[in-house]
C-alpha cells in the first residue's frame, strides 16, 4: 500500500497547533509508517509546496500576501484540506488586528505610534510580505474539506481526525470532543 502524501502549513498563528500535533507522541511513529511528510515547518526544510498532496493541515489565518499565495497553491495541489485550529477556522487572535482599520492602521500603530526610536514604516517588497487589509479565516480564501477547531486542538482530536483519513474514511467531526472551540 502506498503512503499518503501529508503536509502541514503554518500561516498567521502562534504554532500552538503544530506543538499540539507533536503531542501525539508515540502515535507519530505509527503515523510515519502511513505517510510521507512532503511539506511542513516541523522537521523539514522544503521550500516549495509540492504538486500532489493527499492531506494538509493548515494552521493560522490568512494575514498577508505570502499566506494568501500559499493557501491558493496548497488548495490547488491538495485533495483534503483541513482547517487546523481556531485561527484557521475563525482567524481568532490574529484577527484582533482587524480592529485597527486595515493594514495601514496596524502598521502605523505598531511602527509609528508605539515605536520608542526609529519611527518608520517597513517597506521591503519581496522580503517582508505585504499585509492584507484584514486577517481572514482559511475558508474565506479557499474551499476547506474539514474544520478542526481548538486553540490548539488537543492531540486526541488531531489523531481522531487524521486516523480515519489513513483508512480512506471521513472523520466524524461531531460532538464536543471534536468541535469545541478554544
Which residue segment(s) compose the domain that 84 sits in? 4-179
Q: Can you give the CATH number for the domain in which 57 is found?
A: 3.40.50.700
Q: How confident is the model at residue 124 (pLDDT cuts 50, 70, 90)?
A: confident
* 138 DSSP assignment: G
Q: Rounded CA gap, 73 and 77, in Å? A: 6
For 33-90, the pLDDT digits (tens) are: 999 999 998 877 788 999 999 999 999 999 999 999 999 999 999 999 999 999 999 9
What pLDDT was estimated at residue 1?
Answer: 63
What pLDDT was estimated at residue 57?
Answer: 98
At residue 181, does pLDDT exceed 70?
Answer: yes
For 12-23, the pLDDT digits (tens) are: 999 999 999 999
What pLDDT was estimated at residue 43?
Answer: 76
What pLDDT was estimated at residue 123?
Answer: 82
Mean per-residue pLDDT of the chain: 95
Domain count for the chain: 1
Q: Rounded CA gap, 143 and 127, in Å? A: 28
For 146-180, the pLDDT digits (tens) are: 999 999 999 999 999 999 999 999 999 999 999 99
Residue 22, helix vs strand vs coil: helix
Strand ranges across the sheet with 35-39? 35-39, 4-10, 53-59, 78-84, 146-148
Averaged pLDDT for residues 131-158: 98
Of the chain, the percentage scoring pLDDT greater than 90 comes to 88
What pLDDT was estimated at residue 48?
Answer: 92
In the structure grid, which three cell numbers stand for residue 53, read together?
A: 498532496
Amino acid at each position: 500500500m502506498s503512503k499518503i502524501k501529508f503536509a502541514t502549513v503554518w500561516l498567521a498563528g502562534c504554532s500552538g497547533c503544530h506543538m499540539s500535533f507533536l503531542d501525539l507522541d508515540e502515535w507519530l511513529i505509527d503515523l510515519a509508517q502511513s505517510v510521507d511528510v512532503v511539506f511542513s515547518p516541523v522537521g523539514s526544510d522544503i521550500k516549495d509546496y509540492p504538486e500532489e498532496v493527499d492531506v494538509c493541515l493548515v494552521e493560522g489565518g490568512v494575514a498577508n500576501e505570502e499566506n494568501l499565495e500559499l493557501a491558493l497553491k496548497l488548495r490547488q495541489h491538495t485533495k483534503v484540506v483541513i482547517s487546523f485550529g481556531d485561527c484557521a477556522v475563525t482567524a481568532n487572535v490574529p484577527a484582533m488586528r482587524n480592529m485597527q482599520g486595515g493594514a495601514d492602521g496596524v502598521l502605523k500603530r505598531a511602527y509609528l505610534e508605539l515605536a520608542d526610536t526609529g519611527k518608520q514604516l517597513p517597506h521591503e517588497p519581496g522580503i517582508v510580505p505585504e499585509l492584507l487589509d484584514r486577517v481572514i479565516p482559511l475558508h474565506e480564501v479557499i474551499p476547506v474539506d474539514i474544520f478542526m477547531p481548538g486553540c490548539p486542538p488537543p492531540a486526541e482530536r488531531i489523531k481522531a481526525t487524521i486516523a480515519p483519513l489513513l483508512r480512506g474514511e471521513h472523520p466524524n467531526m461531531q460532538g464536543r470532543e471534536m468541535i469545541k472551540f478554544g
